[in-house]
A and B are shown apart, each in its own frame.
Chain A
Amino acid sequence: MPYTSELKKLIKIVEKTRPERVERKKRGEEFPAMSLSEREKILKYHPDFKEEGRSEIKVGPNKGYRIANEMVELLHAKSRVNPDLIHLSRIDYETDVLVIGGGGAGTAAALMAQKTGVKVLIATKLRHGDANTMMAEGGIQAATKNQKDSIYYHYLDALGGGHFRNDPDLVETLVTEAPKVMAWLENLGAMFTKFEDGRMKSLHGGGTSRKRMHYAGDITGAEIMRTIRDEARNYPNDIKVLEFSPAVELILNDQGACGGAVLYNLETEEYIVVKAKATVLATGGSGRLHIQEFMTTNHYGATGDGLIIAYRAGVPIKFLHTVQYHPTGAVFPEQAEGLLITEKFRGAGANVLNIDGEQFVYEREPRDVEAAAFIRECTVRGKGVPTPTGKFGVWLDSPMIDILNEKGTVRREFPGKWILFHRYGIDITQEPMLVYPTLHYQNGGLEINRKGETVVPGLIVGGEVSGGVHGENRLMGNSLLDVMVYGRIAGETAAAYARKQFKDGKLTLNHVKRYNKALQDSGIDLDGRVAPMILPDYSNPDVRKKQLTTDYTGTLR
């Protein structure tokens, strides 16, 4: 849908203030960035700070910890399947390394494990590659421009962005492995955007002190994902893939180690037992829980399943009290609602503006600060731009980019977004985009060490499902990096474990029974809830009311 005439009138105001803003930008005059204490003040407008949005976990290793209600509801839910019904002696698949999750981290893990000669089975909820990695747009951070940058600055930026709460060891590994990841991907033939001499182009992201965001057009994640997926498919005998088979429980053995997982075939509705010497959990994030009813940029399958099943197995969680809202999700047109508008637009020079066409925040604050500033502008200050569906947004002035650089820059650097808006009759080289914060990333997750190990031997975790490396707020470009770095490490650790440390034992689901019992004993009103969620429910309630003979377990028929 093209802009309505009301919105077109408001765009005129943006056009009026644009020439002067462009001049200021050219002179290097930026809207003043906030100091650390100013940041602290504005963060009270961030959804994380809404006390009524959180509640206390009553069972398990993090009893007493307060996190988002939507996550607690899942932690306070019983297993999807009665563990007594699963025949653990009837093993359907046996493998050296089981990788749960077929996204960026899982696929990187599979490739690294395969290299050492072990057999890998990837089990994934949807198709191989259906993951948030595929949707990451802006880029991947790595300190590779040696005349101006080093891992020293990358470390400092990541820590400052994460409110200095990050696990220092995890950050150290992240930044140290980053250049190696870039070399690995370049070797695999990923088409990063380069200058003619082969230098990779790089940009700023929010909270970076050096331009170290490497990118492949505006589909960096898709380019990485399809490249490593293609590589995994080059080893069909070593890396097998089970699609549409999400894990619904981990299996432990009587040695206390992880021994595999129970999968659920979404099509035949069977439960499947996989026995593995080592298990990599790389199930990604949880945007589809729609915390505080926010729209999300996340993949259909991002329901936090890995958190739930690992927590039941005794793995503690960290930093889940913070959730990342990407400042710039589309709010217009309605069909594109929640879609990610990459931070790269701001890195390339686009201002953020209120209804009066005025700047109200420096456009490259860390994401939590930037999002909080948008929310304050649209709520308490009342300077948001109203949409036809009754929501509010702020302008992201994309036409500035062509003026600041050269005509054609937007089309060349943002081909994906250009075509998307073009389909709806909006030319983002001429008209600004209307944006509002959208649920984007699970900052926290399962506790790991720098080798990806958890408290459960043989259970190795990598990617968005883990927590610690980003502290309380992740910087742009550190998530693709996280999935690549810790996915690769998880694969190496798992392969080594399978070869050297694995001790066979009798498979058991006693931990699930214990968790179910703890829930029952806690007095929580379980209300028939089950978890993991597997898929969100977007069905029509009017239709459901008429499905008189249908039973649902959780969200699934």
Chain B
Amino acid sequence: MGNRAVKPKKTVSKSKDSSEKRVPIFIMGKKYEVPESLTIQKALEYAGFQLIRGCGCRGGICGACGTVYRFPDSYRIEVGLACQTVVEPNMYITQIPFFPANKATYDLEKLEPTGSTVMALYPEIFKCVGCGTCTRSCPMDIDVMEYISLAIRGDIAGAAELSFDCVMCGLCTARCPAEEAQYNVGILTRRLYGRHIAPRAKHVAESVENIQKKRFDKGLKTLKSMNLESLKRLYNDREIEPDMADEFWEPEDKKYIIVQ
């Protein structure tokens, strides 16, 4: 008890100049005055909250900090990621750190990249009423309703492409009147696309074969047995692919290159 924190020296509040203008925000309806340049996430910490839920990468990609807010004289529900959204005066904020969502289980290998696959795994997407709330709820500005309708129409590639920036924060799911879990549909279409539609990278399969057939073992053995001086020389003199070289550039020295 009373143990001192082993704590990093750089905290939010210390880096804030006390003269900075404060603005009122309402965290779950309760008023706090916070420096105007803070993100919602840092404002919560400034107000005294210790974040456990609702905080992840602090960089806008993990989807832990989905947040909804409203202003007093507007009917609109606004959304954002707490780590990316700067506070505004009089915003009423709540985080939605978790929202239950249906996740189908499947063997990707056996699925076909079609609309009927999506329909079988997530039949509820046909309940979509076309209200567009999901799209308006997306902090990544993804046209969620559009990728769902592409999935329904069997355009798996289109749905995969359109949902690519999804951080799976779940705000669409929280607000959907048709009770869909759009983000899980999104990842299904992306995996279907990646596995079954996008053409395969033959060079990857070939390089795996080279390794399985141990075609490089001798080269690596030579490198591993080399003394430091020769290794450094070899490194210094190694041929560098030019920045502007195109995909099919080939080095002059091909001793350790194996083309099938």
Contacts and interface: CB of A to CB of B under 8 A. Distances in A.
Contact of A127 (B56, B58, B240): B56
Contacts of A134: 56-57, 61-62
A420 B60 contact: yes
Contact of B13 (A74, A231, A297, A540): A540
B4 A528 contact: yes
A26 B216 contact: no
Contacts of B251: 148, 210
B108 A153 contact: no
B39 A335 contact: yes
A155 B220 contact: yes
A42 to B, nearest CB: 16
B258 A300 contact: no
A134 B9 CA distance: 26
Contacts, number: 305
A52 interface: no
A551 B241 contact: no
Interface residues of B, number: 102
B47 A146 contact: no
Given A127-B56, A150-B258, A135 B62 contact: yes
Given A127-B64, A150-B258, A186-B194, A290 B4 contact: no
B48 interface: yes
Listed residue (A143, A144, A209, A530) with the most chain B CB atoms within 10 angstroms of its CB: A144
A148 B46 contact: no
B3 A553 contact: yes
Given A156-B223, A179-B211, A199-B201, A191 B13 contact: no
B21 to A, nearest CB: 14
21 contacts: A28-B243, A134-B62, A144-B206, A148-B251, A156-B231, A156-B234, A159-B231, A176-B211, A179-B210, A183-B204, A188-B108, A211-B245, A227-B190, A290-B9, A335-B37, A335-B39, A339-B59, A420-B84, A540-B48, A544-B48, A557-B50
Contacts of A188: 108, 191, 194-195
A147 B249 CA distance: 8
Contacts of B223: 152, 155-156, 159
Interface residues of A, number: 117
Contacts of A244: 52-53
- Name the prevailing secondary structure of the A interface residues: loop
Interface in A540-557: 540-544, 551-557
Nearest to A364: B243
B203 A299 contact: no
Nearest to A211: B241
A531 B6 CA distance: 8
A356 interface: no
Interface stretch (A87-95, A233-241, A272-280, A379-387): A233-241
B25 to A, nearest CB: 14
